[in-house]
Amino acid sequence: MKPELLAEAPPIIKEFLGYMGTIRGKSPKTVEEYYFDLRTFFRYIKQKRNLVPPNTKFEEIRISDVDLALIKTITLTNVYEYMNFLATERNNLASTRSRKVSSLRTFFKYLTNKTGKLDTNPVQELETPKAKKSLPKYLTLEQCLELLSKVDGSTKERDYCILVLFLNCGMRLSELVSLNLNDVNHNKKTIRIVGKGNKERIVYLNEACIDAINRYITVRPKDALIDKNALFISKQRKRISPKTVQYLVKKYLSEIELEDYSVHKLRHTAATLMYQHGHVDIRVLKDILGHENLGTTEIYTHLSNEQMTNASEANPLSHVKQREPLKIQIKNKKGPV
């Protein structure tokens, strides 16, 4: 977390952020998100209770004076009013409000269960806003092949290798840029990936990945490197940055007319292709992607189910219904049967 942001935080929140970073092993980016969420909440509380001068802009409200005395006055009603404020005043989507609920839950659980500074947790019964679950966008197999065919230029071996790892290993952007040379085990054909919360996982490399890595290694810069350990090197001879990777991925996607797609869509693509074409077990897919919960991975099974439904609906017999049997009148002595 950036020092200037930490300097603005009150001691009680600094302690919480330190716990999340060192004890819980959350990434600096995740710790920052916790701080931003808590800052927004306490800015709202101070504004709502007239604890700041009138006409103070919301973004200029400082929370450095927030202490345990103020926190003890927070009620569940306050939090629900805050949720309404986020929806109506800040136009936050349900997914964003859901994340902010999670941050508040974690913070108050820490104060109640870990430090004992609160006797009761005011947000224990707080409900999470229901977010609409949308199926992830992904590239088809044909689009993947077309994308790879577009790679060219002075860094084509590097760029091709990056795309191949995204499409075959399903790694996150942060995971790819943090790869080191020694993370690749050529003998065992594996790669070590450090994911969220510094959790490591080993992913096996297929033939395409091994070939792409070997071709890149032969042309990878070796002299005057700022970061000699980094696998992917930029033109400035340092570890490639997330922005550079995002730029080159966007560039190649635009060449196949998929400008709206992003790096993360390549991760979705890898997962979808493995599940649908490789028939990978959902639990194995969970480990490959580095998901903490199986429920996160299950979205790819839902994706497959939707496709199977669409395929069934496309059948020309899909709308043919059984006709009512004809009533045949047979005359006999007793009348019609």
Q: Which stretches of the chain are DSSP H helices? A: 3-8, 11-18, 28-48, 68-71, 76-88, 94-109, 141-149, 156-169, 173-177, 207-219, 242-255, 263-276, 282-289, 294-297, 299-313
Q: Which of 109, 156, 172, 192 is catalytic?
A: 172
pLDDT value at position 122? 92
Annotated catalytic residue, options 39, 100, 158, 267: 267
| Burial (CB count <10 Å: 0-12, 13-18, 19+), residue 326 | exposed
User: Known catalytic residue: 261?
Assistant: no
In the 3-class helix/strand/coil scheme, how is 186-251 assigned residue by residue?
A: CCCCEEEEECHHHCEEEEECCHHHHHHHHHHHHHCCCCCCCCCCECCECCCCCECCHHHHHHHHHH
Structure confidence at residue 4 (pLDDT): 75
Extract the tokens encoding 192: 């070590």
**Residue 108 tokens, joined:** 């108050």
Distances (CA, A) of 142 to 28, 61, 247, 278, 311: 38, 52, 22, 16, 19
Q: Quick one: pLDDT at residue 8? A: 85
Task: Say if pTM beats, i.e. exceeds, 0.85.
Answer: no
Can 319 be counted among the known catalytic residues? Answer: no
Annotated catalytic residue: which of 14, 137, 251, 291?
291
pLDDT at 216: 95
Bridge-based pairing state of the strands 184-185 and 200-204: unpaired
Q: Tell me what pLDDT residue 295 has.
A: 57
The reported pLDDT for the residue numbered 337 is 45
What pLDDT shows up at residue 280? 63
**196, 201, 220, 250: which is the annotated catalytic residue?**
196
Is 268 in the active site?
A: no
pLDDT tens digits in sequence order for the chain, 337 residues long: 677 777 889 999 999 999 999 998 888 888 999 999 999 999 999 999 999 998 899 999 999 999 999 999 999 999 999 999 998 999 988 888 888 999 999 999 999 999 999 999 999 888 877 656 565 677 888 899 999 999 999 999 999 999 999 888 888 898 999 999 999 999 988 989 888 777 788 888 889 999 999 999 999 998 888 888 999 999 999 999 999 999 999 999 999 988 778 888 888 888 777 766 656 666 766 767 766 665 555 555 555 555 545 555 555 555 554 566 655 555 555 554 4
How confident is the model at residue 169, as a pLDDT? Answer: 84
264 is catalytic: yes
pLDDT number for residue 18:
93
